[in-house]
Structure 1
């Protein structure tokens, strides 16, 4: 793995030097975009809007539109905005993980101690494990400030970016049902159905089956076979059929 950020965790007056690695890999297939006529690759170019000519990467700069003109920003400007946050994951507080709704969780990353930081790293990991808490903090990566939690994970430290409150859309625009009268028998059966299928969470049981099926189709097409489309009709359950469907599910 290649580190995508290096810096330190700020834990009180203790700074723990760390490297940050992506904790996830996409299980989706990587497709190329081709011209149907000759299967040539489609290339995307960075083109000057005025001249229509391609611009090499080193001549591309970032700009912010202010009133009627652009203000150009260099790497040094982003660092100057908050140099300490570009280098330190500052832990501001320690919280219970159960207090953070799952809607706030974003991308996870592994944290690895750099040379000389092993003992402090392990101290923080064990202290979080023992206190059953996570460190809440913030840091800057790729010129963006992220809110994050640092938590113990299988003998290591994991940092999870979390979304800011203003990034969560309101549910007020959803057309949610008003309070519908639910019969006691319906509720009892729904709870019984949940109990019947309750189990311990085991992520290893679940695979990306869609990708596996797609690979099979790719191999079939390579052999000249045409995929057949399975038609599926979803029979929505009407309120009048709810009790009968619950009974059938339990059976």
Structure 2
């Protein structure tokens, strides 16, 4: 069983519960050591006196606030002595509607459990009352030398504590982000309908189990390949920005691709037909020398790419995994598809 990272007393009204705070999440990031290039020598961080160059023990370190002309020294015990409730009180100031808290305020999540079975009834009472009212208790408390604003919620039979950002920690996006579209930037009615249609087509139920850290898998694969002296295929470059002129075409192609992915059976059948078509083309092209070259040119001509719309060309480019397709013009899409066809042959 995990040990609590903080213990104290949760209070609401005149009711108090001894509780423990537990970490709710864990990161699975692969951790690397720092080494000097060309060696296996570890690089370590040390606490060093910048004047003498000598290492300093943790017990000999105090906090110092730079007041300009001198440092104001503060001992760790002094910080604990001035903490609200001596760092052991978690008092709920009030209860708010869960929907009233903007998601940007949420920071980290912890589990909150009763200190012992003797307090299970009071704990269960608060948890069920919060679940029924769809409210969260707002409180402040001190942990590890810092005061936190928190929201106490009920989630599937357990109390969870979410640390929140203070209001003055939230930055104004209009001051931080350049080139935000203002009210003067308008979207056409047709583009808006297609964007909404694309969102509806890609609608899904939230299931976190369907997602996993693919980058971590790639890093693990890289390490394994380097151990075996093998090379690893590089990732495809990021998509090029969509040209505003081609926005409607890109939206239309996106809707068509999303619909095609939703029809697995039909998609598999189409892939089978494409494979048979490629086999037929390869058979015709393999009938010898110059005639084979003529056959390939005729095959490209007969493919009818020039007769397709840009949206249809984009759809084929998406299926072929052609990089940079979102920024290509119609002629460039045709050329890229022809090149992909030659490489497949």
TM-score in terms of structure 1 length: 0.96
Hey, what does 1:94 align to over in structure 2?
95
- Note the residue ranges of structure 2 that are not aligned, 5 or more in a row: 257-345
- Which structure has greater helix proportion? 2
- CA deviations on 1:184-243 (whole Å, 9 max, x unpaired) are 111111111111111221111110010011101110100011334244152211211111
Q: Computing the radius of gyration over CA atoms, which structure comes out larger, 1 or 2?
A: 2
* More divergent stretch after superposition (154-163 vs 113-122): 113-122
Residue 177 in structure 1 maps to residue 181 in structure 2: yes
Query: Secondary structure of the equivalent of 2:18?
Result: strand
Deviation of the 1:19 alpha carbon? 0.6
Query: How far has the Cα of 1:85 moved from its partner?
Result: 5.6
What is the Cα-based RMSD across aligned positions, in Å? 1.3
Matched, 1:78 2:79: yes
1:121 is matched with 123
Aligned pairs (5 A) from 1:43-192: 43-84=44-85, 86-115=87-116, 116-173=118-175, 174=177, 175-178=179-182, 179-192=184-197
- State whether residues 34 and 42 of structure 1, in contact with CA within 8 Å, keep that contact through their aligned partners in structure 2: yes
Aligned equivalents of 1:228 and 1:247: distance in 2? 31
The 8 Å contact of residues 8 and 90 in structure 2, kept in 1 or not, is answered as yes
Q: Which has the higher contact order (CA 8 A, sep 6+)?
A: 1
1:50 & 1:41 partners in 2: Cα distance? 25
The 3 A distance-change label for structure 1 pair 231 and 132 is closer
CA shift in 2, pair 1:133/1:85, >3 Å? farther
Determine the C-alpha separation between the residues in 2 that align with 1:66 and 1:235: 50
2:14 equivalent to 1:13:
yes
* TM-score calculated relative to the size of structure 2: 0.70
Contact in 1 for aligned 2:84/2:141 (Cα 8 Å): no
**Alignment size in residue pairs:** 251
Q: Deviations over 1:93-152 (max 9, x none)?
A: 101111111111001111110123211111110110011101011100011000000001
What stretches of structure 1 of length at least 5 have no aligned partner? none
**Are the equivalent residues in 2 in contact too, given 1:18–1:113 (CA < 8 A)?**
yes
Partner of 2:28: 27
> What secondary structure is seen at the aligned counterpart in 2 of 1:117?
helix
